[in-house]
Structure 1
Amino acid sequence: MSRIVIIGGGPAGYEAALVAAQLDADVTVVEADGAGGACVLHDCVPSKTFIASSDVVTNYRDTDEFGIHSDGLAITVDAAAVHARVKRLALAQSGDIHAKLVKAGVTLVKGTARLGEDTLGHTHRVRVRPGDGDGEYAIDAGTVLIATGATPRRLPTAVPDGERILTWRQVYDLPKLPEHLIVIGSGVTGAEFASSYLAMGVPVTLVSSRDRVMPHEDADAAMAIERVFRARGMTILNNSRADAVKRVGDGVEVTLSDGRTVTGSHALMAVGSIPNTADLGLTEYGVAVGPGGYVTVDRVSRTNVPGVYAAGDCTGVLPLASVAAMQGRIAMWHALGEAVAPLRLRTVAANVFTDPELATVGVSQDDVDSGKVPARQVMLPLAGNARAKMAGLDDGFVKLFCRPASGIVVGGVVVAPRASELIMPITMAVENHMTVNQLAHTITIYPSLTGSLAEAARQLMQHELE
């Protein structure tokens, strides 16, 4: 029986463990926090649960248009109740994953691990340090998977204190909502939290070092969401870099690189993550580590050391739970001799959980504009969609890219409520090399937002027929 040790129990680790157990391997997962890792306990699951609470508030906005009157009653948000629900659901999800792993026959160890000394033969010695204080012990395994994730990046001039200067993992310990939140960083994480707090009635200032929010996302989509943010009252400081954040009395003061200062009650640091690879003994063992501390892997999750794999945020491939999980599965399929296709990032869908959401898959607008990928495109505002009119949706659009001659769908963008669900038909089209003709001939529900996807395909099909 193959013996496998997985260091880290997040999406990469626990999904890999389930695959390996299914293939009759002897699997041990070493995880410090609990099943699901930081993703489930501190990052993705908590943040999306928090966003779900803000969505409830959003549903009460502008109800007079629908003939629904609240008689002037104000909507209040109980921060303690919101945070308690966030933590409760995170623990419940972790418990579900733990139960699934145990049922599959996986051995779970609460603690930390590192690569040990080199051994004879085709095994790797892993040093395990249990969290209960018991002595360190070794496990010799044929395959090791490094799946240790990442941690919020901390700036020396803006050290989080858990009270006023916060990482996104610390916001759920606040006794009440901030009076004025300053969000440092306008990437995906910063935009999501800025959107959520704004929906909950918190004045928000978003500090962006670039000329628009979410600079790495589709420009049309990012600008559409920025317009929504501004229309709802968010203050956005573009081309503004934060040099330092310090506590001043009962608030914070943010100093920008041009000398300006911004004051608020709390500051949320959303300036990226760093991989958790420092204490794993990788360099001593000969495992290649690239710039920033990310483990270097190929498209089947192999490191340069035979039998040692890595997956998830510690590799820096693409910081998505879905990608981490697939990297972990691919690693086990490959290690255990199963037929496996290398990771294909071109078919990975990604979503930003702002309001409205922003979902993308396949080629980007930059790819097309630069000439890197030849494609035709169409963009349809949701305002022309019957279901959108009924729901009072004025913002958002769908965009579709296809090959110029064949009409094969190669990418798309959706800005809309639940764009994370609406992107799925485009993802399936990209994955299965469908043409706009095939998409256009697919009958959609009327009225529905998906109708705009078919309409976009019909417009591209018309171009193809000309």
Structure 2
Amino acid sequence: MANVVIIGGGPGGYEAAMVAAQLGGTVTLIEEAGVGGSAVLTDVVPSKSLIATAEVMTRVRRSRELGLTPSDPALSELQEAVRVDLAGINRRLLGLAEAQSRDIATSLAGQGVRIVPGRGSLLGTNRVLATTSSGDEELPADFILISVGTRPRELADARPDGERILNWKQLYNLTELPERLIVVGSGVTGAEFAGAYNQLGVDVVLVSSRDQVLPSEDPDAAKVIQDVFESSGMTIMSRSRAQSARRDGDRVILTLADGSTVGGSHLLMAVGSIPNTENLGLAEHGVALKPGGHIEVDRMSRTTALGVYAAGDCTGVFPLASVAAMQGRIAMWHALGDAVQPLELRSIASNVFTAPEIATVGITQQQIDAGQLAVRTVTLPLAGNARAKMQGHYDGFVKLFCLPTTGIIVGGVVVAPGASELIYSVSLCVSARLTVDQAARAFAVFPSLSGSISEAGRQLHNVNAAEL
């Protein structure tokens, strides 16, 4: 039986452990913070739980347009009857995270995986050192997987103190809503937290160094989110770069590069992440690192050291839990001789949990605009969808890309409530190389938001494709 040692218990690590155990390996998983890693304990699970609660408050706030008003005549709006208990919200979401971590640990133990609480490092390409509270242990390894994740990046002059200046891991310590929350960084993390706290009724200032929020997303989708943010009262400071931050009693003062300042009660720094690859013995034992510290891997999750694999955010491939999990599975399928295919980046679906959500898969608008591929496209505004009208949703769209001659679907964007669910059908089309006609001929429920995907396929119908 092959000895498999996995350093890091996030999605890349625990999914790899499950596959390795299934294939008959003797598996040891070393994890310092808790099974599930930051994705489960301090990132994906708690943040998306917070966002789910915030979405409910938005529905309450817009209840009048659905015909719902307070039964108490003393109240003019339904939202006046609802109070946001941030301490209770944070207790719930941290409880959910801990429960998910326990469930994963129980599942791993049930499959025979040994979990070692501690920190792992390489002693070679076939030996791992586990540093634990009870001492050091050397573990023999036929195969090693590194899945150590990342941590929030910090600015030298804006160090988080965990009270007023915060990174996204520290937000869950808050017990009361901020009076005014300054969010530095308009990428996915910054936009998601800014949107959630705005929905909860907080005065939010979003500081963005770019012209538009979510600069890496589909530009049409990002414009929808920016418009929604601004129309809901959020202040967006575009083309503004943070320089430093300091405490002034119960206030935080953010200084920008142009010398101007912004004041608030709390400040969230969301300026990217750094891979946790230091002091693991990687370079010393032949594991090549990129200039930013990420581990170099190929599409089979192999590093430059024989028998050593890597998965997850520490590889810098695609910072998604789903990608980390797939990288971990691929690594073990390859290492232990099972059937395997290389990671296919074109079929990766991603989602931004703003309101509305942005979901994408396949080729992007940026690639099309750069002339990398000629496509036909159609965009259907959500406001024309019957189900969206019934639910009071008007912001968003469905966009499909297909090849001009064959009609094969090569990508898509969904901006809508529940886009993370709706994108799956587009993802299937991209993965299976289905045509717009095949997508259009599949039945969609009426009324439904997914009906817009079917309609987009019909509008992209190419009569010439039938002759091929």
AA paired with 1:90?
A
AA paired with 2:104?
I
Shift of the alpha carbon at 1:464?
5.6
Give the corresponding residue for 1:446: 446
Shift of the alpha carbon at 1:61?
2.0
List aligned pairs for 1:151-230, cutoff 5 A.
151-230=151-230
Question: 2 CA distance for matches of 1:463 and 1:156?
Answer: 59
Question: 1 CA distance for matches of 2:257 and 2:91?
Answer: 37
Give the corresponding residue for 1:95: 102
Does the CA contact (< 8 Å) of 2:407 and 2:462 recur in 1? no
AA paired with 2:95?
R
Question: 2 CA distance for matches of 1:19 and 1:192?
Answer: 32
Question: 2 CA distance for matches of 1:14 and 1:465?
Answer: 44
Question: 1 CA distance for matches of 2:463 and 2:240?
Answer: 42
Question: 2 CA distance for matches of 1:394 and 1:135?
Answer: 59
- Deviation readout 1:182-224 (Å, 9 max, x if unpaired): 0000000000000000000000000000000000000000001
Give the corresponding residue for 1:141: 141
Q: Which moved more, 1:188-197 or 1:170-179?
A: 170-179
Give the corresponding residue for 1:125: 127
List aligned pairs for 1:15-414, cutoff 5 A.
15-70=15-70, 71-72=75-76, 73=78, 74=80, 75-116=82-123, 118=124, 124-130=126-132, 133-414=133-414
Does the CA contact (< 8 Å) of 2:240 and 2:256 recur in 1? yes
Secondary structure, counterpart of 1:302 in structure 2: coil
In structure 1, stretches of 5+ residues that fail to align are: none
Question: 2 CA distance for matches of 1:164 and 1:172?
Answer: 12
Secondary structure, counterpart of 1:389 in structure 2: helix
**Dislocated runs of 4+, deviation >6 Å:** none
Question: 1 CA distance for matches of 2:462 and 2:191?
Answer: 37
Secondary structure, counterpart of 1:280 in structure 2: coil
Sequence identity (%): 58
Does the CA contact (< 8 Å) of 1:165 and 1:266 recur in 2? yes
Question: 2 CA distance for matches of 1:35 and 1:302?
Answer: 23
Question: 1 CA distance for matches of 2:339 and 2:22?
Answer: 15
Q: Which moved more, 1:336-345 or 1:319-328?
A: 336-345
Secondary structure, counterpart of 2:5 in structure 1: strand
- Deviation readout 1:26-61 (Å, 9 max, x if unpaired): 000000111111110111111011111111111112
Give the corresponding residue for 2:460: 460
Secondary structure, counterpart of 2:461 in structure 1: helix
AA paired with 2:235?
T
Q: Which moved more, 1:64-73 or 1:270-279?
A: 64-73
Shift of the alpha carbon at 1:76?
1.4
Question: 2 CA distance for matches of 1:69 and 1:465?
Answer: 53
Secondary structure, counterpart of 1:371 in structure 2: coil
TM score, norm. by length of structure 1: 0.97
Give the corresponding residue for 1:418: 418
Does the CA contact (< 8 Å) of 1:407 and 1:464 recur in 2? no
Question: 1 CA distance for matches of 2:46 and 2:35?
Answer: 14
Does the CA contact (< 8 Å) of 1:374 and 1:404 recur in 2? yes
The change in CA–CA distance for 1:217 and 1:464 in structure 2 (over 3 A counts) is: farther
Shift of the alpha carbon at 1:400?
0.2
Q: Aligned-pair RMSD on alpha carbons?
A: 1.1
AA paired with 2:26?
D
Secondary structure, counterpart of 1:390 in structure 2: helix
AA paired with 1:59?
R
- Deviation readout 1:231-263 (Å, 9 max, x if unpaired): 000000011111111111211011111111110
Question: 2 CA distance for matches of 1:210 and 1:355?
Answer: 20
Question: 1 CA distance for matches of 2:249 and 2:34?
Answer: 37
- Deviation readout 1:281-331 (Å, 9 max, x if unpaired): 111112111111101000000011110001001100000000000000000
Question: 2 CA distance for matches of 1:184 and 1:463?
Answer: 50
Does the CA contact (< 8 Å) of 2:405 and 2:465 recur in 1? no
Does the CA contact (< 8 Å) of 2:405 and 2:462 recur in 1? no
Shift of the alpha carbon at 1:462?
5.3
Secondary structure, counterpart of 1:351 in structure 2: strand
The change in CA–CA distance for 1:465 and 1:324 in structure 2 (over 3 A counts) is: closer
Question: 1 CA distance for matches of 2:460 and 2:39?
Answer: 39
Secondary structure, counterpart of 1:314 in structure 2: helix
Question: 2 CA distance for matches of 1:64 and 1:48?
Answer: 26
AA paired with 2:321?
A
Does the CA contact (< 8 Å) of 2:142 and 2:307 recur in 1? yes
Q: Which moved more, 1:68-77 or 1:430-439?
A: 68-77
TM score, norm. by length of structure 2: 0.97
What is the aligned length?
A: 459
Question: 1 CA distance for matches of 2:465 and 2:129?
Answer: 64
Does the CA contact (< 8 Å) of 2:182 and 2:266 recur in 1? yes
AA paired with 1:107?
R
AA paired with 1:81?
G
AA paired with 1:405?
T
Shift of the alpha carbon at 1:465?
7.3
Question: 2 CA distance for matches of 1:323 and 1:464?
Answer: 37
The question of 1:427 aligning with 2:416 is answered no
Secondary structure, counterpart of 1:197 in structure 2: helix
- Deviation readout 1:340-379 (Å, 9 max, x if unpaired): 1100111000000001100000000111112101110000
Does the CA contact (< 8 Å) of 1:382 and 1:397 recur in 2? yes
